[in-house]
Amino acid sequence: MKNSYPKNERVTTAVLLAAGTGSRLYPLTQNAPKCLTIVNGVSILERMTTSLNLHGFKRLVVVTGYLAPMAT
């Protein structure tokens, strides 16, 4: 299978899977999805988006599921 992307073109789109229930973090995830769990004052989702931005990603696709309206 041949790669259709030029070798010098950098990937700028990331896919973030934020669809889990976070059952292993219960009771922290009782009222909010795992991606919104606060760690040292910052949500997991904010940490991930900040890190991806610092690494040059321009587009982020977030796959949601459990309690999805809370993450939008």
DSSP annotation string for the chain:
----S-TTPPP-EEEEEE----GGGTTTTSSS-GGG-EETTEEHHHHHHHHHHHTT--EEEEEE-TTGGGG-
> Quick check: 72 pLDDT over 60?
no
Q: What is the pTM of this model?
A: 0.72
Band of pLDDT at residue 47, cut at 50, 70 and 90: very high
pLDDT tens track for 21-41 = 888 989 988 888 888 899 999
At position 50, the amino acid (one-letter code) is: T
